[in-house]
Amino acid sequence: MEWTANRVVRPQDIVWIILFSVMGWLSVARHPLEFPLLAALAILQVVEPRSPWFQTRQGSVSVNLLKIGLSYLLIGFTGGVTSSYYLLLLLPLVSAATMFGPVGTTLFTLVAGGAYVSFLLFLDWSRYRVDADQLKELALRLLVFAVIGFLVNTLGASAREQAGRYREVAEQLAVANRNLVEAEAAVRRSDRLAALGQLSAGLAHELRNPLGTIRASAEVLSKSLNGSEHAVAREMAGFIVSEADRTNLLVTRFLDFARPLRPELSRCEIGDVIDRAIGQIRRGSPRPDVAIYKNFAPEVGPVYVDPDLMERVFYNLLLNAAEATEERGEITVKTRGAGGLIEVAVIDRGAGIAPENLENIFNPFFTTKAEGVGLGLPVVSKIVDEHSGKIAVESTPGKGSVFRVYLPAGPPASSETAV
């Protein structure tokens, strides 16, 4: 059971202990179980506000029924219907009235009153006679139970309403703060992408011409070197050509990343787009032993996206998941509706991502792979942003990662779509 952090003795605790101690001292019944039952009730009164579980509806019902049970035993051992401890039945009644509405208050009033009246069943009616005045006194006591219960309920209703408003405001502030943090992160990422994209474009244009010259020169040099005595030189020229081609491919990727995207939206099934990406992975995956499982929600309808660009998004996410997954591992792709959005989750059980790297994985050129370029996830983020969507990642080192892509479920509000 969870307890609140405040363990300091409160003034109310001392008052409860004093009150129950004085009740036991003033009692004339002197039953052996009287003091243990009083102590148990005092402990419940002290412990109840310290336990968060007792503040829930289920916990409050449980603790108040327990109070009724202990009070019932105490009244029964000290005279039954004539016991001076009958007022202790107000403890659970008042607690219930502050926690529940009129229905809950009524039910606990009936339970407490029924418990008190039930002592009449244990009287020896051959020896005792209840006259009219005594019946009126009994009825008055029951009426006092009801009056106090509904009075406390009325006073507590305004407090509950105010607490509910405070909770609602707090929840709204939490949502607004979370949205603000996500928006700030998206703006920072967009600014970094824009700046690095412009830098990449400039560098790419400056590098392409020298690379073309280097490659052409290496090819001419290789063709002019004949004879076995120039074998090493021809091999070196071949290395230059291959490295120039590889560098030129990187330059092309940089230009692709820096080039503005213009998605051509069309109505399509998101499952079909994912299936094509899975087909690409299965044909050319570096880990053919990795199993890919699909869990597509049937209620997810068509989306308006650029199918080629979104296929690239899911291909990159699946490729990263496959590379992170151990031998004979598993990848799961799930879709579901999420409040006006369509969510696609790519789940792997690989090595996970270190917490310090989560903020940087969507930055261009950031990579932890020995041969990586660091453009896969930035391209994914850029494409998703161009579709008015968002991407989120959850990862636990050693347990795996979950990439979630959120896309608008309906047609775009202000653009023409091809059907």
Q: What pLDDT was estimated at residue 2?
A: 47
Residue 65 resides in a domain: no
Higher pLDDT pick, 345 / 2: 345
Q: For residue 348, what are the domain limits? A: 266-408
**What pLDDT digit, counting tens, does each position of 110-163 carry?**
888 888 888 888 877 777 777 788 788 888 888 888 888 888 888 877 777 887
**What pLDDT digit, counting tens, does each position of 367-380 carry?**
777 666 677 888 88
> How many other C-beta atoms lie within 10 A of the C-beta of residue 255?
16
Q: How confident is the model at residue 317 (pLDDT cuts 50, 70, 90)?
A: very high
Higher pLDDT pick, 414 / 62: 62
Determine the 3-state secondary structure of 325 from DSSP.
coil
Q: What pLDDT was estimated at residue 310?
A: 93
Residue 368 resides in a domain: yes
Among 156-165, 216-225, 349-358, which range has the highest average pLDDT?
349-358
Higher pLDDT pick, 267 / 250: 267
**What pLDDT digit, counting tens, does each position of 264-304 carry?**
899 999 999 999 999 988 887 666 678 899 999 988 888 99
Residue 347 resides in a domain: yes
pLDDT score of 225 more than 80 = no
Phi first, then psi: what are they for 392, rounded to 5°? -135, 155
Q: What pLDDT was estimated at residue 238?
A: 82
Residue 52 resides in a domain: no
> Cα 281 from chain centroid?
31
CATH of the domain at 350: 3.30.565.10
Asked if residues 38 and 74 have their Cβ atoms less than 8 Å apart, the reply is: yes
Residue 372 resides in a domain: yes
Q: What pLDDT was estimated at residue 293?
A: 92
Average pLDDT of the segment spanning 50-78: 87
Record the tokens describing residue 339, joined without a space.
């409040």
Alpha carbon distance 370, 355 (integer Å) = 19
Q: What pLDDT was estimated at residue 275?
A: 93
pTM: 0.49
Residue 257 resides in a domain: no
Q: What pLDDT was estimated at residue 332?
A: 94
- Indicate the range of 85-99, 100-114, 118-132, 342-356 predicted with least confidence: 118-132
Residue among 290, 292, 356 at smallest CA distance from 329: 290
Residue 282 resides in a domain: yes
Q: How confident is the model at residue 357 (pLDDT cuts 50, 70, 90)?
A: confident
> Cα 230 from chain centroid?
66
Residue 393 resides in a domain: yes
Q: What pLDDT was estimated at residue 258?
A: 67
Share of the chain above pLDDT 90, in %: 15
**What pLDDT digit, counting tens, does each position of 362-419 carry?**
877 777 776 666 778 888 888 998 888 889 999 988 889 999 999 998 787 654 444 4
Record the tokens describing residue 384, joined without a space.
């998703």
Q: What pLDDT was estimated at residue 414?
A: 56
Share of the chain above pLDDT 70, in %: 88
* SS3 per residue for 86-123: HHHHHHHHHHHHHHCCHHHHHHHHHHHHHHHHHHHHHC
Q: Report the number of distinct structural domains present in the chain.
A: 1
Among 17-31, 216-230, 389-403, which range has the highest average pLDDT?
389-403
**What pLDDT digit, counting tens, does each position of 189-203 carry?**
667 666 766 666 676
Higher pLDDT pick, 310 / 151: 310
